[in-house]
A = this chain, B = another copy of it.
Amino acid sequence: MFVLGIDPGVSRCGYGCVEGPGRAVAAGVLTTPPSDPLPHRLAALGDELAALIAQYRPDAVAVERVFFQVNARTAMAVGQASGLALAAAARAGCEVAQYTPNEVKQAVAGYGAAPKEQVTRMVQALLSLPAPPRPADAADALALALTHLAMAPLRARIGR
């Protein structure tokens, strides 16, 4: 199974492609210039996400599930970016899943309160990478893809 993880954001949107069980195919960050008007940035991000999905043709797309306890201004942008990511994935006919940050930590590092650096090291180990994946947005996206690879069999069994 080929999974694209997406860590949504308007300024920086991480992505990471993993071919199961553990080969990293691509990882990086889509950015939009803060000097551009928000609607243009969202349109550009939506187009780039659609192009990414068309290029890698993943079986499934795993998107971070966003919450609003943090910063209302940031959360708004993250929500808007996640809407574009979910819509682009569904439009391309991919299976789509959302995971909370805690679910990702649980799946990748074994416990839901794992510190960020430990998750990054586990991603490096699971994908046999020569160095910890950078930047953080790309590492988070790879962790999302690995989470889906770990969870997909269970999800299929319970019919989610």
Residues of A participating in the B interface, judged by any CB pair closer than 8 Å:
37-40, 42-43, 45-47, 66-69, 72, 75-76, 79-84, 86-91, 96, 98
Contacts and interface: CB of A to CB of B under 8 A. Distances in A.
**Prevailing SS type, chain A contact patch:** helix
Contact of A90 (B39, B67, B69, B83): B39
B80 A39 contact: no
Contacts of A90: 37, 39-40, 42-43
A96 B40 CA distance: 9
A42 B76 contact: no
Contact of A43 (B38, B69, B80, B87): B87
A39 B79 contact: no
Given A38-B86, A72-B68, A84-B84, A43 B79 contact: no
